[in-house]
Structure 1
Amino acid sequence: MRSIAATLVRDSSIVFLLLVFFAVVAPRSARAADCSAGTLVTVVAHLDDDLLFVDPAINERLDAGWCITTVHLIGGANGADFAYVQTRERASRLAYARMAGVPDEWLESNIAIAGKLIHQMVLKSKPQVRLLEFRLPGGGVRGGREPLGLLWEQSATLSTYPMNADGSTRVQYDRASLSATLKVILAQASQIFTLNPDTVPFIEHPDHIYAARITRRVAQTLGKSVPIEYHITYPTGDWPANLPAAEVQRKRDIVASYFAIDGNEYSHVFGEYQWNGNWVARRYAFADRTDHPLADSQAHPVQLFNAASNRCLSSNGAGREPTLAACTDARTQQWRWQPLAVYPGNARNAALVSVATSQCIAEHDGFLIAETCDEWDTAQRWTPWDFGLVYTPLRHCLGENDGKLAMRGCTSLTTRYRWATTQRTQATDLRLATAMYGDIAGHGEQSAVYVQRRHDGPGFDVYAASLSKAARPVLCYANPVPFDYRSTTPSCADDKLCFDSLRFVLGDFDGNGRADLMVIAARRGGTAFWLLRNAGNRFEAPRLWLQTSSALKPELTQQYVAADFTGTGRASVLIAQKRADSGLDLWLASATGSTRAAPALWAQARNLRQNTHFLPVHVEGSRASLVALDSSDGRLAFTPIANDGAHLLVGERSMLPARFVPEFVKATIGALHGKDSDALILLTPHLDSASDDAVIDIATVDLAGTANAPVQVATLRGMSWSDVFPALVRDNGNPALVLYRRTDATLGDFYFTGGSAALLRYPIGDGFALGTAQDLGELPGLFSETLRIDRLAQ
C-alpha cells in the first residue's frame, strides 16, 4: 500500500509541476507581446463565429496595435470526433495568420487557467494574437442535446475533447469552474466582444446564445466597467450589407482561407446566396458595459416580415386569426418569441405572443387563432428557425399565398415561406442594382448587361442578354481573380478588379454608337476608372481611363451616373460625392478623343440629401440632365437638375404623396413618346388589400408638365415588388418596360436570397398601356449573385 501511495504522490507532484510549468513558462511568449494599446477578448461558441459575425472588428483592433485573444468555447460541432476539432483549429490558425499577414506558424501548448487546462495557440511572428480553445462539446443548430445549456441551466458537468494530440487529458467543467476560468481570461480585457444573448433558439444557434449569456454574466462580476459588444448572428444573412467594400474584400479572403480547411471548399464564401457567404458583408452588434447589470432578455419585440408579399404579420385580437397587412409601426405588428419551459435544445420552445394583446397564437385543425396563453398547451408551441423558416406547433411551415397566410409541409419551399424579423432586409435594400441597359451591337437595339459574381474567387463575369428575343445571354468578359487560401497577401492587390469593391456604369464612352462598360474602384488614395471597350461581341480587357486625386474617393461617392452630359456623343461620368457639411458635390469626368482632364466640379448641391438617387434624363441630340430622388421624415421627393453645358442647376424640390413610402419605391426614367415626354416611373407594392396576390402598382410623373402629380397608369400581377428591378428602354424608338426579376424558385434550407434571374419585356402604348409580356427567359447564374451595390445610402 505504501508503494502505491508513494507512486500516487510522485505522479501527483509531476502533474502539479507540469501545471505550474504550463501556467508560468508557456505563456511567456504571449506576455512578450506589447499590449499597451489595449487587449480585445472575443468569446464565441464555434471556431468560425468570430470570423463570420464579429470580424472585421477583430481585424481593426489588430491593425491598431492591440493584443487580441479569441476564446472558442466549443470544439468541433455537434457530435464531431476529435479529428474534426483539430481540423477546425487548423483552419482557425490559417485564417488568423492571414488576418495578421504573417506565416501560419504557431506555438501550441496547454496552459492552466484557474486550475483548468486550456489549449493555447500563439502566433509566432505576431505573439499578440492568441487563440484559447476550451474544446467543450457543442449542441445542434436545429435542436437536440445542448451541452452548454445543460451546464448553465441544469447544473450538468461536461467533459471536454482531449487536450493532447494523442487523445489524452480531458477536462471537467461545471458552471462554477467554467465561470472562474473565463473570468481570469476576461480580467485582462480592455474591450469584450461576444455573440447575441438576447434571443431564443433557434432564431440563432443555441450554442451562440449560451456562449453570450455566460460571457455577459461572468463579465458583470469583474468589478470594473469594460465596453462589451454583442453580435447578432444568423438573422443578419438577409439584412442589408453594412460593411465598407475594402473590409468586405479582406474579410472574404480570411473566411475563405478558413473554409478551405474546414470543409475543403470555399466557393460558398465568395457567393452571397447561401451558407457562410451570407454573413461576410455584414456586422451587426449592440454595445453595453460590463458594470451595467443587464439581465438576459429573451423576448425583444420583432416584426415578422414576409418579403414575397412585402407585408407583416398582424394581430386581429382575441379569438381571431392573424393576417398579413401593410407594415406599420402599430403594436398589432409587434411580436415576442416567448421562451417556454423546455429542456435546453428542445424544439417547440417558444410561444408566439402579440405585444398588443398578450395573446398567444395557437394552431388548431389547420387554422391559427389568438387565445389566452397556456405554457403547457402543445398547440401554442412554435419553433422559430434561424434561416427564415417558422415552424407552426403542428410542424407546418408558415408562409404566404395569394396575399394570405398559408401553412404547408416544409419541403420545396419558395421565398413565400421566408420571414425576417424586420422589414429592412436585402429584399428592400434600394442601394442594390442588377442589370444595366445599352446598345451593345450599335444597331439601335437595347441589351441588358449584368455582372455575375464568380465562385472560384473574388472576380466577376459580364453577360449581355438580348431584349428583342429569348436567347441565351452571351459571356462578354470573364474576369477570374485567383484565390490562394494559404497566401498572406490580399487577393485583390495590384489593380485586380474584385466584385465587392467595384461599381459599374454602362455608356458609349468612345462615341461609336456601342455601349462600353466602365468599372470604378478605389486606387492610390483616389478613384480609378477602368474602361472595358466594346469590341462588338465582347468587352476588351480593362484600360485605365482616368485616375483621380485623393479629393475623390469611392467610399465617399454616393453614386456614379453615365450619360452624355457634354452633348458630344460620348458618355461622361457624374460623380456625386458626399460633402463634409451637408448635401453633395456633383463632379463630371469626361473625355474628348483620347484626352481626359481631371473631373470638374459642376454643382455644389448642399440642399440635396446624401441618400439621393440620381436618374439621367437622356435627350437625343442634346445634353443629358438629371432627376434626383431623395427622402426625409418618411416622405419621398424629386428634384429636376438642368444642364447648361458647364454647370448642373438644381431646381425646386417637389414632395410626392405620402402613399409613396420611400423604402418601397423603385424608380426608373425615360422618354415614353418622343424626346419631350420624359417621365419618372415609380413601382410600389400594392398593399391596400390583404386578399390580393402580389400586385405592383405603376405610377408616372410627367417631368414636362406643371402639376408634377403622380398618375396611376398600370398594375403588374403575380410578381413580388421585392423581386423586380425596372428599367425603361427604347428599341428603335419604341418604349418598353423591362423587369430584371427573381423567379419564385425553390430555395434550399440555408438560402436567403437565391433563385433564378429572368427578364420580362412589356411594350408600352399610349397612356402607358402595357402590351403582352415577352418572357426573355432565365439567365445564367443566381439572382442574388448579380445584385451589386450601386449607391452608398438609400
Structure 2
Amino acid sequence: MRSSAARLVRNSFFAFLALLFFALLPGPARAADCGAGTLVTVVAHLDDDLLFVDPAISERLDAGWCITTVHLIGGANGANFAYVLTRERASRLAYARMAGVPDEWIETNLPIAGKLVHQMVLKAKPQVRLLELRLPGGAVRGGREPLGLLWEQHATLSTYPMNADGSVRVQYDRASLSAMLKVILAEASQIYTLNPDTVPFLEHPDHIYAARITRHVAQTLGKSVPIEYHITYPTGDWPGNVPAAEVQRKRDIVASYFSVDGSEYSHVFGEFQWNGNWVARRYAFADRSDRHAADFQARPIQLFNAAASRCLSAARSGQAPTLAACTGSTAQQWRWDPLTVYPGNTRNAALVSVATSQCIAERDGYLISETCDQWDMAQRWTPWDFGLVYTPLRHCLGENDGKLTMRGCTLLTTRYRWATTQHTQATDLRLATAMAGDIAGTGEQAAVYVQRQHGGPGFSVYAASLVKASPPVLWYASTVPFDPRATAPSCANDTLCFDSARFLLGDFDGDGKADLMVITARHGGTAFWLLRSTGNRFEAPRLWLQTDNAFRPELAQQYVAADFSGTGRAGVLIAQKRPDSGLDLWLASSTGSAGAAPVLMAQAKTLGQNANLLPVQDPGSRASLVAVERADGRLALTQIVNEGTRMTVGERRQLPANFLPDFVKVTIGAVRGKANNTLILLTPHLDGTAQDAVIDIATLDTADARSVPVQAATLRGMSWSDVFPLFVRDKRNAALVLYRRIDATLGDFYFTGGAPALARYPVGDGFALGPAQDLGELPGLFSETVRIDRLAQ
C-alpha cells in the first residue's frame, strides 16, 4: 500500500513538472497563425478522420487554416497499449504527408479542463495538432461499448496511459468529458464529426457516440458554428464523389497510415474490400451548433438490393414487404428506430415503414407488417454494417428469383447485400469498364481493360480476344512505386495513375490499329498521352497534346474518341462544362503524330451537364454524336450533327417513361449494315414477375428522328448491375459483348466481390441474339477494372 501511494505521489510530481515545463514553453500550437480559421474534427478512431472526413481536412489545411483533430478512442476494442501507440504513430505519418512536411512532432500531455490529453503538434507546420484522449473502444459487431456506457449509463471510464512508460491514466465521466471537449470546440470556426443519426451496427457504435457527444457539446457553446456530420460505413457501396486529383492524394495519405497500422496498404489502392472502399467517398450533412437537436434524429433510408435492382417496399398490415421497382415513394422509405438495449447489444433496432408506421416482424420463418412493440423480440433486427441485414431470428435478408428471401448467414453472395440508397455503385452510370477496338490491325476486335495495381496507384492494361476464349495479354503496365514516408505526391505531372486518369481507345495515327489515349491533369491544364499500338503491345506514352489551364480534367464532363474529321484518324472531343449551363464541345483533331489545339465546335447550352455522348458514324464520313441524358425525370436523346467546322445541336426528345433514367445502360453500334447508328439500351426487368435476373434489350435507330425504342431481346441469369455492354462488328459478324461480374461469396467489407468475365452474343437480323459464347473469366477483380468515365450522371 505504501509503495503504491509513494508511486502515485512520484508520478503526480513528475506530471506536475511536465505540465509546468509545457506551460512555460512557447508552444508551437499557440505560435501557429490561425487567422484563416480553425477546423476541429472529432472522431472515434485514429483512421476515421482519414477515411470518412478527408479530403475536407486537407482542403482547410491548404487554405491556411489551423486543424485540430480529436481522437476519442485509443487503439481498438480490447487492444493493448502498444497498439494505441502504433496507431498514433500511423496518424502522425499520415498528417505529415497531408501537410507535405517531415514526420517530426512535439508530443506533450496537455491539461484541458482538468484532464490530461496527449497532444501531438507537427514541428514544420504547427497549424496541425492531434489530440488523443485514449478512451477504450467498443466492437464493430456488438459487445461492451465503453463510450455508450459513459454517455447513456453514466459510467466512469479509465483511459489508456498518458505516458509511454504506461503511467498516468485519466478518469472520465459524462460531465468531465463534455467539459473537456467544450474547451476544444470553443476555438472552432468549423466542426466536423461523424454520423449521430443512425443506429449500431449500421455504423460502428463508437462512430455514433463520438458524433452524438460532439453535437451535444457543440450545442452548449453559446454561438453558431457550422458543423458537418459524416456518414461512414454505408458509403462504401455509394458512388465515388471525391474529385480524381483528391482521391489520388487521399490514397497516399491513407496508405501512409496503414503502412504503420498493420503494415499492409494494398487494399487502400483498391475498390473492393477493407479501407479502399471509402477513399473515393465523402458524404456529409450540414447543420449549425445553435440548432438544438436530440441525441438521435431518425433519417429515412431505402433498402436497395443491387442484384435485383429493386427496393424493399412496405405492405398493408398483416402482409409481408416485397421487392419492387424503385420509385422513391414513401412505401419504400424506412427507418431504423433504436430500441431500449444495453449499449453494445445486438437486436437493437426496429425496421419501421415511413408510410405505415408499422414494424416488420419475423414469425414462423415469415416476415409480416404489424403494430410496433419495442419489447417484442420478433421485431428486433440487427441493421448490420457492410450491407448485411440480420432478421430477428438471425437470418440474413436477401433476394432470390426476384423475391425476398431469408437464409443462414454463411456463404452469401451479393444477393444478400443491401444499400441504404438506390444510388450505389451498381447504378452509377458514369462508370466504364472494357473498351473494344482492332488493336492488332487484323480486322478482329479485342477488349481492352485497365486494372488497378495493388502495390501502388499505377495500372496495367490487358487485351482479351473477342473471337475465342484465351488468357488476356498484358499490353502495358504503368507501375508507380509507393513510398509511405514521402512528402511529395505519388502521382504528379508525368506520372500516370489509375484514379487520376481517363482512358480512350481509337486509331489516333491512322495506321489501322487502335491506340490507347490516357488523359491526365498536368501543368495546370490537360495532358493527352498517346500509347501507340505496335500490334502486340502499347508503346510507352508520349505527349500527344498539352492544353493550357482553360482545359482542365475537372471541367471535362466527358472525352469521346472518334474520326470527327473524316481523315481516318481519331480525334478527341472534349465536352466541357459551361459556367452557366450546358456543355461546350471542343475538338482536338489528330495531325497524325500529335493533336491540334482544341477548336470550339458547339456551344450546347441546352444539353444537360450529365449528358453521355456517343459517337455516330457512317463509313467514310465524319463522326457525329448522340447525347443520352436525364431531362425532367425522363431519359432523353439529342442529335448533334457534325458539319465539319461546327456541330449543330438538335432538339431533345424524351423516351417512353418505362426507360427509367437511373436504370438504363447504353452502347451504340452498327447493327444494320455498317453505319454505327443503332442505340442499344439495357434495362433490368422490373415488372414484378418472379423471373430471376432478366435484362431487357431495346434498340433505337438514331438516324430516324421519329424512331422509338423497340424491344429486341432479353438476357437471363445475369444481374443488370453486373454487366457493361459493348457492340462490336468485325470481319466475322456483329456481336453484343458483355463485360460482366461473376458473382462471388462475400467477405467482410467486401461490397463488390467477383471476377470479370466476357461473353459474346452474335447478333442477327432484328437484333436476334445467337447463343452466348463464353470467352472466359479474366484474372483479377471486377471492381478493380471499373473506372469513372464521366463527371456527372
Gap change, CA 1:690 and 1:338, over 3 Å in 2: farther
Gap change, CA 1:560 and 1:9, over 3 Å in 2: closer
Contact 1:676 1:704 in 2 (8 A): no
Contact 2:618 2:676 in 1 (8 A): no
Contact 1:321 1:369 in 2 (8 A): yes
Report the alpha carbon displacement of residue 677 of structure 1 after superposing the two structures with TM.
7.2
- Alpha-carbon distance in structure 2 between the residues aligned to 1:27 and 1:235: 44
Contact 1:444 1:732 in 2 (8 A): yes
Report the alpha carbon displacement of residue 12 of structure 1 after superposing the two structures with TM.
9.4
Gap change, CA 1:248 and 1:405, over 3 Å in 2: same
Partner in structure 1 of residue 215 of structure 2? 216
Report the alpha carbon displacement of residue 622 of structure 1 after superposing the two structures with TM.
1.9
Partner in structure 1 of residue 600 of structure 2? 601
- Alpha-carbon distance in structure 1 between the residues aligned to 2:468 and 2:9: 86
Gap change, CA 1:16 and 1:278, over 3 Å in 2: closer
- Alpha-carbon distance in structure 1 between the residues aligned to 2:494 and 2:22: 47
| Amino acid aligned to 2:46 | L
- Alpha-carbon distance in structure 2 between the residues aligned to 1:173 and 1:370: 43
Report the alpha carbon displacement of residue 671 of structure 1 after superposing the two structures with TM.
1.3
Contact 1:146 1:206 in 2 (8 A): yes
Partner in structure 2 of residue 244 of structure 1? 243
| Amino acid aligned to 1:376 | W
Report the alpha carbon displacement of residue 459 of structure 1 after superposing the two structures with TM.
0.3
Partner in structure 2 of residue 572 of structure 1? 571
| Amino acid aligned to 1:428 | T
Deviations 1:130-180 (A, max 9, x none): 111000000000110000000000010101001111111111111011111
Report the alpha carbon displacement of residue 18 of structure 1 after superposing the two structures with TM.
3.0
Matches within 5 A, 1:595-674: 596-674=595-673
Are 2:407 and 1:402 aligned? no
Q: Secondary structure at the match of 2:503?
A: strand
- Alpha-carbon distance in structure 2 between the residues aligned to 1:124 and 1:249: 25
Q: Secondary structure at the match of 2:499?
A: helix
| Amino acid aligned to 1:513 | G
- Alpha-carbon distance in structure 1 between the residues aligned to 2:26 and 2:299: 42
Partner in structure 1 of residue 78 of structure 2? 79
Q: Secondary structure at the match of 1:517?
A: strand
Report the alpha carbon displacement of residue 104 of structure 1 after superposing the two structures with TM.
0.5
| Amino acid aligned to 1:227 | P
Gap change, CA 1:690 and 1:512, over 3 Å in 2: same
| Amino acid aligned to 2:178 | S
Are 2:685 and 1:686 aligned? yes
Are 2:471 and 1:463 aligned? no
Q: Which moved more, 1:500-509 or 1:329-338?
A: 329-338
- Alpha-carbon distance in structure 2 between the residues aligned to 1:740 and 1:734: 18
Are 2:726 and 1:727 aligned? yes
Q: Which moved more, 1:246-255 or 1:297-306?
A: 297-306
Report the alpha carbon displacement of residue 19 of structure 1 after superposing the two structures with TM.
6.7
Deviations 1:591-646 (A, max 9, x none): 22335421111111111111110011132222211111111221111111122222
Matches within 5 A, 1:332-411: 332-411=331-410
Partner in structure 1 of residue 496 of structure 2? 497
Contact 1:41 1:191 in 2 (8 A): yes
Report the alpha carbon displacement of residue 215 of structure 1 after superposing the two structures with TM.
0.5
Matches within 5 A, 1:188-337: 188-337=187-336
Contact 1:23 1:112 in 2 (8 A): no
Gap change, CA 1:113 and 1:445, over 3 Å in 2: same
Partner in structure 2 of residue 447 of structure 1? 446
Q: Secondary structure at the match of 1:95?
A: helix
Contact 1:525 1:549 in 2 (8 A): yes
Contact 2:544 2:593 in 1 (8 A): no
- Alpha-carbon distance in structure 1 between the residues aligned to 2:696 and 2:522: 42
- Alpha-carbon distance in structure 2 between the residues aligned to 1:20 and 1:591: 68
Contact 2:440 2:534 in 1 (8 A): no
Q: Secondary structure at the match of 1:653?
A: strand
Matches within 5 A, 1:740-759: 740-759=739-758
| Amino acid aligned to 2:725 | P
Q: How many residue pairs get matched?
A: 793
Contact 1:22 1:109 in 2 (8 A): no
| Amino acid aligned to 2:81 | F
- Alpha-carbon distance in structure 2 between the residues aligned to 1:11 and 1:442: 82
Are 2:132 and 1:116 aligned? no
- Alpha-carbon distance in structure 2 between the residues aligned to 1:13 and 1:513: 80
- Alpha-carbon distance in structure 2 between the residues aligned to 1:221 and 1:705: 65
Gap change, CA 1:46 and 1:35, over 3 Å in 2: same
Q: What RMSD in Å do the two structures reach over aligned CA positions?
A: 1.8
Deviations 1:89-118 (A, max 9, x none): 000000001111111011111111111111
- Alpha-carbon distance in structure 1 between the residues aligned to 2:468 and 2:266: 33
Report the alpha carbon displacement of residue 744 of structure 1 after superposing the two structures with TM.
1.5
Gap change, CA 1:652 and 1:121, over 3 Å in 2: same
Deviations 1:702-747 (A, max 9, x none): 1233522111111111111111111111021621111111111112
- Alpha-carbon distance in structure 2 between the residues aligned to 1:549 and 1:183: 48
| Amino acid aligned to 2:244 | A
- Alpha-carbon distance in structure 1 between the residues aligned to 2:11 and 2:734: 87
Contact 2:431 2:790 in 1 (8 A): yes
Gaps of 5+ in 1: none
Partner in structure 2 of residue 487 of structure 1? 486
- Alpha-carbon distance in structure 1 between the residues aligned to 2:74 and 2:476: 44
Q: Secondary structure at the match of 2:234?
A: helix
Report the alpha carbon displacement of residue 750 of structure 1 after superposing the two structures with TM.
1.1
- Alpha-carbon distance in structure 1 between the residues aligned to 2:722 and 2:8: 72
Gap change, CA 1:595 and 1:716, over 3 Å in 2: closer
- Alpha-carbon distance in structure 2 between the residues aligned to 1:625 and 1:18: 77
- Alpha-carbon distance in structure 1 between the residues aligned to 2:678 and 2:778: 29
Partner in structure 2 of residue 738 of structure 1? 737
Q: Which moved more, 1:719-728 or 1:689-698?
A: 689-698
- Alpha-carbon distance in structure 2 between the residues aligned to 1:283 and 1:204: 15
- Alpha-carbon distance in structure 2 between the residues aligned to 1:274 and 1:7: 51
Contact 1:200 1:298 in 2 (8 A): no
Q: Secondary structure at the match of 2:779?
A: strand
Contact 1:298 1:339 in 2 (8 A): no
TM-score, with length taken from structure 2: 0.98
Deviations 1:337-378 (A, max 9, x none): 111110000011111111122211111221111122121111
Q: Secondary structure at the match of 2:317?
A: coil
- Alpha-carbon distance in structure 2 between the residues aligned to 1:25 and 1:791: 56
Gap change, CA 1:150 and 1:570, over 3 Å in 2: same
Deviations 1:195-221 (A, max 9, x none): 000000011000000000001101111
TM-score, with length taken from structure 1: 0.98
Report the alpha carbon displacement of residue 385 of structure 1 after superposing the two structures with TM.
1.1
- Alpha-carbon distance in structure 2 between the residues aligned to 1:696 and 1:13: 71
Are 2:148 and 1:149 aligned? yes
Gap change, CA 1:749 and 1:112, over 3 Å in 2: same
Once superposed, which parts of structure 1, at least 4 consecutive aligned residues long, lie more than 4 Å away?
A: 6-13
Partner in structure 1 of residue 528 of structure 2? 529
Gap change, CA 1:386 and 1:298, over 3 Å in 2: farther
Contact 1:74 1:135 in 2 (8 A): yes
Partner in structure 1 of residue 538 of structure 2? 539
Q: Secondary structure at the match of 1:230?
A: strand
Contact 2:545 2:594 in 1 (8 A): no
Q: Secondary structure at the match of 2:385?
A: coil
- Alpha-carbon distance in structure 1 between the residues aligned to 2:10 and 2:737: 79
Q: Secondary structure at the match of 1:591?
A: coil
How many percent of aligned residue pairs carry the same amino acid?
Answer: 78
Partner in structure 2 of residue 438 of structure 1? 437
Contact 1:556 1:577 in 2 (8 A): yes
Gap change, CA 1:189 and 1:706, over 3 Å in 2: closer
- Alpha-carbon distance in structure 2 between the residues aligned to 1:723 and 1:594: 38
| Amino acid aligned to 2:599 | A
- Alpha-carbon distance in structure 2 between the residues aligned to 1:10 and 1:621: 92
- Alpha-carbon distance in structure 2 between the residues aligned to 1:403 and 1:422: 19
Report the alpha carbon displacement of residue 535 of structure 1 after superposing the two structures with TM.
1.0
